[in-house]
Amino acid sequence: MTVADSARLKREILLRSMFPSMPVAAHLRFTDLLDDLEAKPGALVFDVGDAPDRFLFLTEGRVAMERESERPWEFVPVAVVGVIDAILERPRTRNCRALEPSRFLSLRISDWFDMIEDNGQIARAAIRNFAAQLHARWRQLAPRLERHSELPPGGATAPLEAYDKILALRRATFLGSSGMQAIVSLATVAEQLDLKQGEPLFELGARDDSLHVLVRGAIELTAPGGFRYHHRRGDLVGGAAAFCHALPGYAARATTDVSVLRIAEQDFYDQAEEHARLTRGTLKYLVAELEPLLEIDDASARLVPPGRISADA
């Protein structure tokens, strides 16, 4: 694709204003990969069941993503449209209809994945970006979720062999799509922590850039303002907060005897640079967690959201 320099600059400025923290190289590459798209009012930009092969950057106008018997999601500039289905690699579950004359820049999902796999910085930025969105939403809604009030049984602690670590990480929700090689590699760098009931995993305000995967028992996550959330086996403690450096806003305490696998953030991203599926898998996890939260009407009193958040604890 060849575009005039001035048109490229316009795109670059737009992208930079949308993603100010993204590395320069990513902006330049993005600029080259974008295609222009226009839609008249009422026109379908994509329909339910379509292949999710592209992201759309809405630059002008207004669109809605609709699904039968669900409230529509409306987007205004500058927004990214169609990202959830694309990352989850499933056919479109909502259509996208232009409400006004609208313009987009579209990017092939495969190009985007290529970019994040080629560049560790972009991968980290993408993960942090999604994690920050998910965390903001989760922080607001978590106290209303079913799991908030449940307390699962604990388990006896024992040293984990490497094979056990592999099995434990394979069970971890956030590594569900990351691939066995990444899991094996993470198992080699994961450090086991055993806590007795009542012991803290980390305190409020503590700076710990590690990821903690709960292998046995239960952990309670608390935050100022009465926030309380129970983590169970397979959970990443803090969820998205662990990926966007928001853990200092929380304290975590063992509510039973627990075993946790601690993975240093640096180790995680080092492995992500080697194993592309780890980045993709993490993004999938974040988006899969975000989607059901987006479905919850802020005004509703519903406590059990659809999707994975309330599922298998």
Partner 1 sequence: MKSVKTLSIDRFVDLRSGEAGAFFRAFSVLLVTISAHTVLETARDALFLAKLAPRNLALVYVATAVFTIALTPLSVRLTRSAGAKNALVVTLLVTAFAAAWFRIRAPGAASVFSLYVFGALSATLLVGQFWLLAGTLFTAAQSRRLFGPLASGGVLGGVGGAALAALLLNAVPVRGLLGVASLLYFGAAFLATRLVIEEVAVAPSRAIQSSPVASSAPLRPQLAKVQGDPFLARLAIMAVLSIGVSTVVDYLYKAKVSRTIPPEALGAFFARYQLVLSLGSLLLQVAITGPVVQRVGVVGLALTGPLLLTFGGTMTAVLAAPFWLVVVLKATDTSLRNSLGRVATELLWAPVEQQAQARGFVDLVVTRVAQAVAGCVLLAATMQREFRPGHLAATASVLAALWLLVGAGIRKPYIALFRKALTRGGVEREFMLTELDLTSVETLVEALARPQPSEVIAAMNVLSERKRERLIPALILLHEDEGVLLRALELLGPSGRKDWYSLGERLLGNASPRVQQAVVRAFALAGESDVLRRATQHPSASLRTFAALYLAQLAGETMDGDPLGWELFADDDDEHSLKLAFIEALAAHPTPETPRILLGFAGLSAVRGAVTAALEVAGDASSIDFLISRLKWADERLSARRGLKRIGEPALEALAHALYDQRWERRVLIHVPRSISAFLSKAALEILLKAMVEHENGLVRYKALRGLEQIALETSLRIPAEPIFHEVTRNALEYLRLFAAELALKSDRAASGRLESQLVIELLDDKIAQSRDRLARLLQVLHRGDDIPAIFSALMSSDGRRRGRAVEFLDALIRGFDRSSDEAAMLLRLVVDDLPAELRAERARERVGAFPDARAALTALASDPDESVRSLSGRALGTLGSLPPPAAPPLSVLSERLV
Chain contacts with partner 1 (rule: CB under 8 A): 1-2, 4-6, 8-10, 12-18, 20, 24-25, 28-29, 31-33, 110-111, 114, 120-121, 124, 161-163, 166, 170, 179-182, 184-185, 187-189, 266-267, 269-270, 274-277
> Residue 179 CB, nearest distance to partner 1 (Å)?
4
Largest CA distance in the chain: 65
| Minimum distance from residue 161 beta carbon to partner 1 (Å) | 6
Q: How far apart are CA 76 and CA 71, in angstroms?
A: 16
Report the residue number, 88 or 167, with the smaller CB distance to partner 1.
167
Q: Quick one: 15 or 251, whose CB is closer to partner 1? A: 15
Structural tokens at position 44: 């379908």
Q: Which two tokens stand for residue 182?
A: 């990444």
- Residue number with CB closer to partner 1 (28 or 44): 28
The distance of closest approach from Cβ of residue 68 to partner 1 in the complex, given in angstroms and rounded to an integer, is 28
Which CB sits closer to partner 1, 115 or 241? 115
Give me the DSSP letters along 85-144: HHHHTS--SSEEEESSSEEEEEEEHHHHHHHHHH-HHHHHHHHHHHHHHHHHHHHHHGGG
Question: CA 144 to CA 205: how far, in whole Å?
Answer: 24
CA distances from 297 to 54, 171, 286, 310 (A): 27, 30, 19, 16
Cα separations in angstroms, 289 against 64, 69, 173, 221: 21, 21, 10, 17
Cis, peptide link before residue 78, omega less than 30° from 0 = yes
Shortest Cβ 142–partner 1 spacing (Å): 28
Q: Looking at beta carbons only, is 86 or 166 nearer to partner 1?
A: 166
Residue closer to partner 1, measured from CB, 272 or 293: 272
What is the distance between the alpha carbons of residues 50 and 73, in angstroms, rounded to a whole number? Answer: 18
Q: How far is the CB of 8 from partner 1 (least distance, A)?
A: 7
Q: Which CB atom, from 4 or from 299, has the smaller least distance to partner 1?
A: 4
Give every CB contact of residue 156 below 8 A, 6+ residues apart in sequence: 216, 257
Q: Report the C-alpha dihedral over residues 97, 101, 105, 106, rounded to 10 degrees.
A: 30
Q: How far is the CB of 35 from partner 1 (least distance, A)?
A: 10
The residues facing 229 across adjacent strands are: 221
CB of 140 to partner 1, least distance (A): 25
Which residues, including other chains, have CB under 8 Å from residue 212's CB and lie 6 or more apart?
A: 193, 201, 202, 236, 237, 238, 242, 252, 260, 261, 262, 263
**Smallest separation (angstroms) from partner 1 to the CB of 130:** 17
